[in-house]
């Protein structure tokens, strides 16, 4: 039997982890599709995606169309005569014509237990919602957004202190291992599709910077989830004496208090305690304007820190 012609489509680090796993398992990848180079850094120079960088290191042909609705791009893809296209966080819509091109269609590794979170930011939305577990799903792609039949799943518990960055890295490992493990059965047509229950679906909207603004009238638990879910981007923030303070790590308590939400009620080696709508929040790691993120307890040793008991975050 000849080796299957596999195309990999992906863009960010999460996708690169899956491509790396395929290559480590000596699974041949005929071509890579990734988004066009984007300007990044202070110089705004064009930077290749993590997937492109990895593909070039392994001498894999790279294609970067701005759209797969374009007839020229479609003809180019058709000429590759793929048996299968594996899609992981690619970022471009695949029209039906493209989905039908590979002999075995297109499959996607999605960072959620479908149909729980469909869409762009399933990892962050799971944390923000307080989900106890999440995972990855291998799905046969169809025209709808993450609506296709599920081929395999792996579930994992979410740690009470886990940030979206940490969960991202863990799910990248889990998804990569699942993809390599399930690929032989997939190529043989042995995986049994499971239809999604659309009534259980939620849309994981793309994150916006303004979602980082802390509303201190919410419960301490909700704010702690916000802090974890938005770390490392866009990072939860608040205002103190007109200055923006970014909160990188925090811990919720059920400490009952009568202080107005946002009021600093204690400072100690544990950090900075702030009254919330319900309970209180211990700020553990904080970033002041123009400074690096620092443990709050370390800042309290300075004579110039702004965290005075009785002052209030806006």
Distance between CA atoms of residues 24 and 209, nearest Å: 36
Which pLDDT score is estimated for 305? 87
CATH code of domain 6-204 = 3.40.50.170
Distance between CA atoms of residues 98 and 217, nearest Å: 48
Judged against a pLDDT cut of 70, whether residue 23 lies above it is answered with yes
Which pLDDT score is estimated for 256? 85
The per-residue pLDDT of the chain, averaged, comes to: 96
Distance between CA atoms of residues 84 and 62, nearest Å: 16
Which pLDDT score is estimated for 44? 83
Which pLDDT score is estimated for 42? 78
Distance between CA atoms of residues 29 and 61, nearest Å: 9
Return the higher-pLDDT residue of 304 and 16: 16
What confidence tens digit (pLDDT) does each residue in 26-40 have?
999 999 999 999 988
pTM score, whole prediction: 0.95
Which pLDDT score is estimated for 304? 79
Number of Cβ within 10 Å of residue 166's Cβ equals 17
Number of Cβ within 10 Å of residue 267's Cβ equals 18
Judged against a pLDDT cut of 90, whether residue 1 lies above it is answered with no
Of 118, 205, 221, the residue nearest 161 (C-alpha): 221
Top CATH class of 209-299 equals: alpha beta
How many C-alpha atoms does 235 have within 13 Å on its Cβ side? 14
What confidence tens digit (pLDDT) does each residue in 164-180 have?
999 999 999 999 999 99
Which pLDDT score is estimated for 306? 92
Q: Can you tell me the mean pLDDT for 213-231?
A: 98
Query: What residues does each domain of the chain span?
Result: 6-204, 209-299
């Amino acid at each position: 039997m000849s080796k299957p012609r596999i195309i990999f489509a992906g863009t960010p680090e999460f996708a690169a982890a899956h491509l790396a796993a395929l290559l480590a398992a000596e699974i041949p990848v005929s071509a890579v599709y990734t988004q066009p180079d984007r300007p990044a850094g202070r110089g705004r120079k064009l930077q290749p995606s993590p997937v492109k960088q990895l593909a070039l290191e392994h001498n894999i042909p790279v294609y970067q169309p701005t759209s797969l609705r374009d007839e020229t791009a479609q003809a180019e893809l058709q000429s590759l005569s793929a048996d299968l296209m594996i899609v992981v966080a690619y970022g471009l819509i695949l029209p039906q014509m493209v989905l039908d091109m590979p002999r075995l269609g297109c499959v996607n590794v999605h960072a959620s237990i479908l149909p729980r979170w469909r869409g762009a930011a399933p990892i962050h939305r799971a944390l923000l919602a307080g989900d106890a577990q999440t995972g990855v799903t291998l799905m046969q792609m169809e025209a709808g957004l993450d609506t296709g039949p599920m081929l395999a799943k792996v579930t994992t518990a979410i740690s009470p202190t886990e940030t979206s960055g940490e969960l991202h890295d863990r799910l990248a490992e889990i998804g990569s291992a699942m993809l390599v493990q399930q690929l032989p059965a997939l190529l043989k047509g042995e995986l049994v599709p499971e239809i999604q229950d659309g009534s259980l679906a939620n849309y994981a909207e793309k994150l916006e910077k303004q979602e980082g603004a802390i509303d201190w009238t919410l419960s301490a638990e909700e704010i702690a989830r916000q802090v974890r879910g938005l770390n490392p981007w866009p990072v939860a923030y608040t205002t103190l004496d007109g200055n923006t303070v970014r909160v990188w790590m925090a811990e919720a308590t059920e400490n009952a208090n009568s202080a107005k939400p946002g009021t600093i009620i204690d400072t100690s080696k544990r950090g900075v305690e702030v009254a919330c709508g319900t309970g209180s929040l211990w700020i553990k790691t904080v970033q002041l304007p123009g400074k690096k993120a620092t443990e709050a307890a370390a800042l309290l040793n300075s004579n110039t820190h702004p965290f005075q008991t009785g002052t209030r975050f806006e």
